[in-house]
Every structure is written in structure tokens, then in C-alpha cells.
Homo-oligomer: A and B are copies of this chain.
Amino acid sequence: MENIITSKDNPVIKLYQKLSSSKKERLQYGLFVLEGLRIVEDALKEDSGITHLILTKKAEEKFGEQLFQADLRDTRTIVVSNELGNKIASTDTTQGVFAICRIPHDRGVSTLLSDNGRYIVLFGLQDPGNVGMIIRTADALGIDGVIMSGSCDLYSPKVIRSTMGSVFRMKIALENDADKLFSALDEKNVVTSAAVIDKDAVPVTECSFSGSQAVFIGNEGNGLPHDIASRCTRKVIIPMQGNINSLNAAMAAGILMWELKK
């Protein structure tokens, strides 16, 4: 471990950078990257399949002791120069703690669903910050699972960072095929609510959320496609008194999850 890597041609460093910038490479290798002490610790705590731990010399001195308490038998640790750490970092003030992590096997929507479960479906969300914030909020409010359909890549560094570690605690399933998604939900008798801003939708304040429930959130700019909203059991609206354009997708999702769970 005292062999300090300084070259960006090192194969682990090259892999890290590929995974950091390309969804295609992430899919191909089944790996994604983490940056930052807290999220790496969260991943270690949840036993989330870290294959490589990459520390700068400075980070090894500062955080080595606490990080090495985790079970690292299946993890290869490498130490890099502070300069190389700055090169692969996504922020100007990096802590010098990086990891490569296995993408967990997606067991599918059906295995996520349980009686009286509460779910949020992200349908076509494209902003990584919104997706991350929704996953983080779902974790806080005790939502039973997040389903992603046609949304941005869950394993992009921006989404991962925005989840603040909740990506390792939440149950998350991906299903890009709308037919398969609706059959899985219908089979488990999940009531589906499409979050819309249509005037004929039911105000969320008048909705009963008993039994198993899933709320669909649509794209930031365009909302849910009409055919998807129509396939849901009902359409719901957050009553707004001010400017209707002023509720962003993550905030709308947060308020709906709050109503689902409280």
C-alpha cells in the first residue's frame, strides 16, 4: 500500500475516470464511482460492494484509521499522490477519498412491492440533482421504494452525490418499459396516482392513501406524458395558491411523499 501512484495511466485510475464520465462504461463494467468521506463510509457501512478504495496520501493520513476499520477483504486499496487526487476529483476542495463500487443487481419492481407499501415513481426525470434529492427525501420520510423509469442514470456521480448516501439505504428499482411497470403495479393491487397540474385532478388534500400506493412524478419541463397519466388509477394535484410554475419536481415529490406517509 505504500506504493504511491502518481500516474493517471494507472489502470485503476483510468477505470475510475471512465466510470465517472460515461454511463456506457458504467453499464458495461457494472460499476460506478463514489467521492467523499461520508458517502464512502455510508457505502462501507451498508456493505455495498466497494471493489476499490482510492485515497490520496493526505486522506490516508487523515481518514485511514477510521476507514480501515471496515471489512475491506474484498476491496483493493490504493494510495495516490495528492496531485493525482486533485486531477480525478470533481470538486475543487476534494477530501481525497474515492471508491469504485459494484452496481447492485436490480431485482425488478415486483420484488420491491409489499402490502401497504408507499412508492414514488420517477418517470422521465432528467435533472440529477432532483433525482438525488428525491431519493434522499424518500429515505428520510420512510418511503418503501423508489422506481425509476426513463429517468437519468441513477449511477451518475451527480445523482449519487445528491442522494447523500441514501442510495445505499433506499430500495430502488429500474423499469424503463411502461407496460411491464404497470403490470407489476397492477398485479400487486398498487393504487397509482399521477402527479399533474390539470384542473380536473383530485387535490392531494382530498386523497385517501390507504393500501399500497405509488405516486408518479413526471419530467421537470413537460410533466407526465398524457398516456401515462391516463393509465394511473387517478390524477392528483398539489393545490397551489401562487405561481403554478414555481414548484419544482423534487419539491412536488417531497410534498407528495409527505402526504403518502404522514
Once the chains bind, are B133 and A242 in contact (CB under 8 Å)? Answer: no
Give which listed residue, B142, B242, B248, B262, contacts A242 with CB less than 8 A: B142
| Interfacial chain B residues near A254, Cβ < 8 Å | 251, 254-255
CA distance A241 to B137 in the complex (A): 11
Mask of A236-257 contacts with B, CB within 8 angstroms, 1/0:
0011111111111011001100
Once the chains bind, are A262 and B205 in contact (CB under 8 Å)? Answer: yes
Mask of A34-68 contacts with B, CB within 8 angstroms, 1/0:
00000000000000000000000000000000000
Once the chains bind, are B255 and A258 in contact (CB under 8 Å)? Answer: yes
A93 to chain B, nearest CB (A): 15
Give which listed residue, B166, B239, B251, B262, contacts A137 with CB less than 8 A: B251
Once the chains bind, are B258 and A241 in contact (CB under 8 Å)? Answer: no
* Interface: A153 (CB within 8 A): no
| Interfacial chain B residues near A255, Cβ < 8 Å | 254-255, 258
CA distance A137 to B141 in the complex (A): 19
Once the chains bind, are B258 and A142 in contact (CB under 8 Å)? Answer: no
* Interface: A164 (CB within 8 A): yes
Once the chains bind, are B247 and A140 in contact (CB under 8 Å)? Answer: yes
* Interface: A139 (CB within 8 A): yes
Give which listed residue, B141, B240, B248, contacts A141 with CB less than 8 A: B240
Residue of B nearest to A143 (CB): B242
| Interfacial chain B residues near A247, Cβ < 8 Å | 136-137, 140-141
| Interfacial chain B residues near A238, Cβ < 8 Å | 258
CA distance A243 to B142 in the complex (A): 8
* Interface: A169 (CB within 8 A): yes
Once the chains bind, are B248 and A251 in contact (CB under 8 Å)? Answer: no
Extra inter-chain contacts (11) besides given A140-B244, A140-B247, A255-B255, CB under 8 Å: A136-B247, A136-B248, A136-B251, A140-B241, A141-B240, A142-B240, A164-B248, A165-B243, A166-B242, A239-B262, A254-B255
Task: Name 15 interchain pairs, CB-CB below 8 A, sorted by A.
Answer: A136-B246, A136-B251, A137-B246, A137-B247, A140-B240, A140-B241, A140-B244, A140-B246, A141-B242, A141-B247, A142-B242, A165-B246, A169-B242, A241-B261, A251-B254
